[in-house]
Amino acid sequence: IFPSHDIRSRMSLLCLIQYATPTVEFKLADNSYTSLALDQVKDLFNKMMAYSISCYAQEKVVLDSVAAGNFTVDMLDNGWPSNTVS
């Protein structure tokens, strides 16, 4: 089951796919803009979803470890998905 914000993200992407022009303008962290083709938007979305799902999975591992009494501090640094976008 996906968290509600993931479902909203998927619905937003479906709306974008249905009504988008061939390119979409995205605002970047430095306040500049870049144009992405629809295939690039889909690829970005898929990577974001995979990252989000991986984070929730690792969070569950940590919480289950806490509940079972076998949590270790290294769990805060290990097992999480990379923050690097490829």
Q: What is the number of alpha carbons within 13 Å of residue 68 lying toward its C-beta?
A: 9
Residue 16, pLDDT score: 66
Q: What is the 3-state secondary structure (H, E, C) of 63-74?
A: HHHHHHCCCCHH
Predicted TM-score of the model (pTM): 0.65
pLDDT band at residue 1 under the 50/70/90 scheme: very low
Nearest one of 60, 39, 38, 41 to 49, comparing CA atoms: 41
Residue 69, pLDDT score: 96
Q: For residue range 3-52, what is the model confidence (pLDDT) as tens digits?
A: 545 666 666 666 666 666 677 787 888 989 888 887 887 888 888 888 88
Provide the H-helix boundaries in the chain. Answer: 4-19, 38-68
Tokens of 57: 């999975």
Distance between CA 61 and CA 80 in Å, rounded?
10
Distance between CA 4 and CA 51 in Å, rounded?
16
pLDDT band at residue 62 under the 50/70/90 scheme: very high
